[in-house]
Chain A
């Protein structure tokens, strides 16, 4: 209880994980909305316009929660991590400042126009408002990922006389190869979330026999986008990300796989339980040589185990890291399989004939949320014990002047606030889904309800 570091870490982890429930949907939906709006401008696009209008309402509610849960994260750099702020502000202040300047001003200016301005703007300009939101939200994503990438793989910095990190090369910092790979992976994963949510809504209406045209449209868009994005999440984006971890954070790779012994033809562990005290993986089910191939491109490559590294370099919670990584990878595989089946049946025109598949699609929407959360857990736990990899330890970063009781108090406060916020969000989005898309053309075929 007296260890403030634990509360600082838990508070940031909890508020960041809760926050990321919302942006992953808005970033993914923004792309879906732009595509729906673009399609709706062509002949026969009325149903697409109705679908876009529906998802824009969901977007509006989700975006609002994303905004109010995002602000606490920026504040916590100062309140809970002031030593870290002092140490790295000269660098990551750039990306955080640019996020406000280039992304937030853009998003906030066009949000109300997108949500409430369809009549005022007319179809074309409304589509442009959607494009502005998409650009803003994806820019915002880049600045945050670039900030995180600096912590994962610091580049473009120098160490000043007072020990703080300062910018040496803006280009190297902003175009960090880690940031590019992580961004591609994160954005594709956000589209997976949106696609699963779209497909789930379509499946729900289809199973209930509501809004038949919208049900079909959303199912079709959901499974197609879902298949494409979930494949891209694994390959190439996830693959590239894995190779970067292997090259720059070999000890993290070993921990993610629960690998203690070094050696060539390294096996991949599908399941098993890491036993850190005994330094082995209990009850593993393994496929030989695959890890060598995934990490280094040849089956014979040597992959180092944890025993190779001093224990003070090990990630601090190897078990959680191992499980988070395996949950992400396992769910990722499952999601590709489900969407492949869905897309195949949709292509054959049999998707709406299969009750089981529609049930599966309706209930599967939490999977991408879990996979996204597990993915971020992997990235952040894998970075430990460092806050800035190899340069600055997490234990050095917290505010020394904040008492553990204060940190615990605000953590509990967030738990209460976010519980209520989560309930309100589910209630409002649930109402929207139950109500369904509202057609703008009253005589149209979707006016059945």
Chain B
């Protein structure tokens, strides 16, 4: 049961990255691919109906983690205390930039919210990536199951550890680039005109950057956690995830070549999903790795809620998830076709 919930939580987090990922990426690119007010409203119009629902994956995923592995949630969130609040404040800034911008027509008002939206959208993926980096590298969990990390120390990725070091920042930058690629493909798929042209032009460059950085991140991960990769071939799920990554890359490259951006977008979605699944499969059952003593790590088995509680949770999870997917399908159907810029006062 704990194993199942490990995967349910992983699916939620991966869905969050893939779904909110494209609106983060598009937000980070927003100033570059949309220059005029009309173009910016096209970008926001493409994201507007979806961003809030995409963010719900984070909350629903957090809720699932809260239920299934409260010890992991408590230790992780309190250990990353300051970074967590940077995330919370960034999410707040980002949400209101999107929602408040269209209500006033002044150019300064809109320029301010555009910049705020772009900044928050760029900083958050770096923080999320750095968080993933911390999970892979390990945190100084004690025998009591808690830790506390400063924002940074000497950036050395060895004791004394900080949240941000060369490794976690590298993962953060990789996350930002991968999500910008994801977002550029979303915009290229969903829009037409100048926004489409600029997004389609920047996507191959971002793909090249991601391709260059990827081996570097893999090598660095091996440096900070040498135990990770050797176990990969022995884990069927990790092998499957690697195949998904490979399929995603093929789809991405084909889609870009043939300028079929919806295919490329699906490809980058599979790429992200596969990478996260591979990471989850290779660390399983460890959820929070202790850098002090492997025996102190928090795992799916030593941190799970009771069997009865988890079994009950399964009941509503499998009712709620199809509903959530159904809303998503309905939403995409209602908004199918290229985004048209809305009239003033009638949209984002």
Residues of A within 8 A of B (CB): 60-61, 64-65, 67-69, 71-72, 74-75, 77-83, 85-94, 96-102, 104-113, 116-117, 119-120, 158, 160, 164, 166-168, 170, 399-403, 406, 409-410, 413, 417, 421, 424, 428, 431
* B219 interface residue (CB < 8 Å to A): no
Distance in angstroms between the alpha carbons of A98 and B313 in the assembled complex: 9
- Which residues on A sit within 8 Å (CB–CB) of B92? 68-69, 71-72, 417, 421
* B301 interface residue (CB < 8 Å to A): no
Closest A-chain residue to B79, C-beta based? Answer: A401
* B108 interface residue (CB < 8 Å to A): no
The distance from the CB of B248 to the nearest CB of chain A, in whole angstroms, is 25
Distance in angstroms between the alpha carbons of A102 and B317 in the assembled complex: 10
- Which residues on A sit within 8 Å (CB–CB) of B68? 93
Distance in angstroms between the alpha carbons of A406 and B77 in the assembled complex: 13
CB atoms of B309 and A91 under 8 A apart: yes
Task: Please tell me the number of chain B residues within 8 Å of chain A, measured between CB atoms.
Answer: 67
* B4 interface residue (CB < 8 Å to A): no
CB atoms of B95 and A64 under 8 A apart: yes
* B81 interface residue (CB < 8 Å to A): yes
* B84 interface residue (CB < 8 Å to A): yes
CB atoms of B323 and A90 under 8 A apart: no
Residues of B within 8 A of A (CB): 48-50, 52-53, 55-56, 59-64, 66-71, 73-82, 84-85, 87-89, 91-92, 95-96, 99-100, 103-104, 146-148, 305-306, 308-309, 312-313, 315-317, 320-321, 323-324, 327-328, 330-331, 334, 342, 346-348
A-B residue pairs, 10 tightest by C-beta: A89-B70, A93-B67, A78-B77, A82-B74, A101-B320, A100-B60, A97-B63, A90-B305, A64-B99, A399-B78
Distance in angstroms between the alpha carbons of A93 and B73 in the assembled complex: 11
CB atoms of A167 and B312 under 8 A apart: yes
- Which residues on A sit within 8 Å (CB–CB) of B48? 112, 116
CB atoms of B323 and A89 under 8 A apart: no
CB atoms of B91 and A96 under 8 A apart: no
Distance in angstroms between the alpha carbons of A61 and B67 in the assembled complex: 31
CB atoms of B66 and A431 under 8 A apart: no
CB atoms of A97 and B66 under 8 A apart: yes
The distance from the CB of A343 to the nearest CB of chain B, in whole angstroms, is 33
CB atoms of B331 and A109 under 8 A apart: yes
Distance in angstroms between the alpha carbons of A72 and B86 in the assembled complex: 11
CB atoms of A86 and B71 under 8 A apart: yes
CB atoms of A97 and B64 under 8 A apart: yes
Closest A-chain residue to B77, C-beta based? Answer: A78
CB atoms of B147 and A104 under 8 A apart: no
CB atoms of B148 and A93 under 8 A apart: no
